[in-house]
C-alpha cells in the first residue's frame, strides 16, 4: 500500500529543492544588476550599460522559471497539506500574503519597467527600477524566510483548542521569531555567493573563448570581491545559526552531529557511521571539545545528546549528518576558491590562468549544492514536526489516496524537469550567442573608454 505521508513529503521536497535552484540567483543577481545600473548612471561608462543588459537577460530567464516553479509549489499547501493549512493558515498565511503584496508586486512591476522601458527612461530611472527589483526580491526572501522560521521557532500565536487551530495574537512576534533574522542573513549571503559564482563562471567561459573580454573581466572582478566577502561572512553567520539551533532545537543540532550522549567537552565529528538501531556511532573521528566550543564558546560546556529525547521526537540522523557536512565542506571550498581568485588578481595573473578559468566553470554547481544541502538540514532537521513542537508532519497531511499523490508527484517531476531543462537551454543559448559589440550596435553609445 502506498504511503501518502511519504509520497507527500517526497513531492514537497522535490518541488521545494527545484524551486530553490532559482531563488538565490534571483536575489543575488538583482543586486549586482542594480549596482551596474548605478555605475552606468553615475559614470556614463557604456561598458556598465552592456553589463547590465547582458546579466538582466539571464536574470529574466531565471526569474521567469523560478516564478513558475514557486506558484505551482504553493498549491500543495491546499492539496497535499490541507490539514496543515487548516491548522496554521491564520498564522502562516500572513507572511505569504505580505510577500505577494509588498514584494512580488514590487519586483514584478519594476522588472517590466526595467526591461520594456529601458530605452525610454533616463539612466537615473533605470537605476531606480533596478534598485526596486533588488529590494523586491530581497523583501520576497524575507517574508518567505519569516514564514519558514515560524515553523522552526514558533511564537506570537495561541492554540484554539475548540477550533483546533493556531491563531495569531502578535504579528511582530510571528515575523520576528527567534530564528528569522539569523536565517535570513544566512540565506542572503548564500544568494550573493551563488550570484557571484554564476557571474565568475560565465565570465570565465567568455575569457576561455576570448570573447566579450571587457565585460567578462569587469564582471568577474566585481563578483570575486562580493563572493569572497560573503563566503567568509557566511562562515560566521553559519556559526551563529548553529548556536541558535543548539539553544532552540537541541535535538536538531544533535542530529546534525550524530551526538547521542549528553556530555561535556563534546567532540566535533569529522566522520562517523551512525547506528540508529543501537543509538550509537559504529565508528567516529572527531576533535575533542570542539562541538562544545562551537555551540557554547566553552570547550567544557555540556551538549545535549539525542538520547535525551523520545525516539519519536528525534530528527533523522544519517541524512542530517551527511547534508550538514556537505554544506560546510562546500562553504569551505568556496572560501578557498574565491581567495585563490583574489590572490591571482592581485598578482595580475588572473586572466592568464586558463586552468583556473576552467575550474571556475566546474565550480558553478557548488553553491547550488551548498544551498540544497542547507535547505535539507533546515527542513529535515525539523522533522517529525511540520511546526516545531506544535504540529506533527503526520497530522498535517491531506486525506488523499496514495495513487493520487503518486500521479501528481510524477507530473511534478516531468514538469519541473522540463522547466529546469528550459532554463539551462535558454541560458546556454543566450550566453553562446552574446556578442557585446554586435548586440548593442543599434544603440547610439559614445566611444568606449576603459575596457578592463
Calpha distance 394→400 (Å, rounded): 13
179 in Cβ contact with 152 (< 8 Å): yes
Q: Looking at the DSSP assignment, which residues form a beta bridge with residue 268?
A: 287
Question: Burial code of 146-162, b = ≥16 C-beta within 10 A, e = fewer?
Answer: bbbbbbbbbebbeeeee
pLDDT at position 421, please?
93
Domain-located, residue 279: no
Q: Does a structural domain hold residue 311?
A: yes
238 lies in some domain: yes
Peptide bond preceding 384: is omega within 30 degrees of 0, i.e. cis?
yes
Residue at 80 is within a domain:
yes
Distance of CA 46 to the CA centre of its chain: 32
Q: What is the DSSP letter of 443?
A: S
pTM across the whole model: 0.92
State which residues form the domain around 322. 4-262+304-432
The tally of domains found in the chain comes to: 1
**CA 73 to centroid of chain Cα atoms:** 16
For 265, phi and psi rounded to 5 degrees?
55, 45
**Given this model, what pLDDT does residue 447 score?**
44
CA gap 27, 20 in Å, rounded: 11
In a domain, 292, yes or no: no
In a domain, 142, yes or no: yes
In a domain, 426, yes or no: yes
Least Cα distance to 376 among 255, 259, 244, 261 occurs for 255
Per-residue pLDDT of the chain (452 residues; tens, 9 = 90+): 678 999 999 999 999 999 999 999 999 999 999 999 999 999 999 999 999 999 999 999 999 988 888 887 778 888 889 999 999 988 988 888 888 888 888 888 899 888 888 888 899 999 999 999 999 999 999 999 999 999 999 999 999 999 889 999 999 999 999 999 999 999 999 999 999 999 999 999 999 999 999 999 999 999 999 999 999 999 999 889 889 999 999 999 999 999 999 999 999 998 899 998 899 999 899 999 999 999 998 999 999 999 999 999 999 999 999 999 999 999 999 999 999 999 999 999 999 989 999 999 999 999 999 999 999 999 999 999 999 999 999 999 998 888 989 999 999 999 999 999 999 999 999 999 998 777 655 554 544 444 43
Q: Is residue 364 part of a domain?
A: yes
Distance of CA 327 to the CA centre of its chain: 12
C-alpha cell at 230: 560573503
Amino acid at each position: 500500500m502506498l504511503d501518502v505521508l511519504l509520497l507527500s513529503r517526497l513531492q514537497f521536497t522535490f518541488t521545494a529543492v527545484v524551486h530553490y535552484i532559482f531563488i538565490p540567483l534571483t536575489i543575488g543577481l538583482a543586486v549586482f544588476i542594480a549596482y551596474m545600473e548605478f555605475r552606468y548612471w553615475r559614470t556614463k561608462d557604456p561598458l556598465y550599460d552592456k553589463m547590465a543588459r547582458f546579466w538582466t537577460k539571464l536574470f529574466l530567464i531565471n526569474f521567469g522559471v523560478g516564478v513558475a516553479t514557486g506558484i505551482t509549489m504553493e498549491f500543495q499547501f491546499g492539496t497535499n497539506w490541507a490539514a496543515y493549512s487548516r491548522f496554521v493558515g491564520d498564522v502562516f498565511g500572513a507572511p505569504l500574503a505580505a510577500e505577494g503584496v509588498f514584494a512580488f508586486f514590487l519586483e514584478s512591476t519594476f522588472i517590466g519597467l526595467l526591461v520594456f522601458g529601458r530605452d525610454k527612461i533616463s539612466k537615473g530611472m533605470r537605476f531606480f527600477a533596478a534598485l526596486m527589483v533588488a529590494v523586491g526580491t530581497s523583501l520576497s526572501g524575507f517574508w518567505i524566510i519569516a514564514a519558514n522560521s515560524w515553523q522552526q521557532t514558533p511564537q506570537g500565536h495561541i492554540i484554539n483548542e475548540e477550533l483546533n487551530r493556531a491563531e495569531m495574537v502578535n504579528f511582530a512576534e510571528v515575523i520576528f521569531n527567534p530564528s528569522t533574522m539569523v536565517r535570513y542573513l544566512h540565506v542572503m549571503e548564500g544568494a550573493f555567493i551563488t550570484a557571484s559564482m554564476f557571474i565568475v563562471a560565465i565570465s570565465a567561459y567568455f575569457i576561455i573563448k576570448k570573447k566579450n573580454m571587457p565585460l567578462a573581466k569587469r564582471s568577474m572582478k566585481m563578483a570575486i570581491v562580493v563572493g569572497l566577502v560573503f563566503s567568509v561572512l557566511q562562515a560566521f553567520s553559519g556559526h551563529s545559526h548553529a548556536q541558535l539551533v543548539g539553544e532552540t532545537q537541541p535535538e536538531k543540532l544533535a542530529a546534525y552531529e550524530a551526538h547521542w550522549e549528553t556530555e561535556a567537552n563534546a567532540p566535533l565529528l569529522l566522520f562517523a557511521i551512525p547506528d540508529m538501531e543501537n543509538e550509537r556511532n559504529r565508528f567516529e573521528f572527531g576533535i575533542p571539545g570542539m562541538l562544545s566550543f562551537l555551540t557554547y564558546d566553552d570547550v567544557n560546556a555540556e551538549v545535549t545528546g539525542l538520547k535525551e529525547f523520545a525516539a519519536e521526537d528525534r530528527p533523522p540522523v544519517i541524512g542530517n549528518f551527511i547534508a550538514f557536512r556537505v554544506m560546510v565542506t562546500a562553504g569551505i571550498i568556496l572560501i578557498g576558491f574565491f581567495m585563490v581568485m583574489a590572490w591571482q588578481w592581485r598578482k595580475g595573473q588572473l586572466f592568464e590562468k586558463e586552468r583556473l578559468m576552467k575550474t571556475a566553470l566546474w565550480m558553478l554547481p557548488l553553491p547550488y549544492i551548498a544551498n540544497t544541502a542547507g535547505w535539507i538540514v533546515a527542513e529535515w532537521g525539523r522533522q517529525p514536526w511540520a511546526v516545531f513542537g506544535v504540529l506533527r508532519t503526520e497530522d498535517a497531511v491531506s486525506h488523499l489516496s496514495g495513487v493520487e499523490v503518486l500521479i501528481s508527484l510524477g507530473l511534478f517531476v516531468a514538469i519541473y524537469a522540463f522547466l529546469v531543462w528550459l532554463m539551462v537551454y535558454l541560458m546556454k543559448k543566450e550566453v553562446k550567442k552574446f556578442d557585446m559589440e554586435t548586440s548593442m550596435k543599434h544603440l547610439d553609445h559614445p566611444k568606449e573608454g576603459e575596457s578592463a
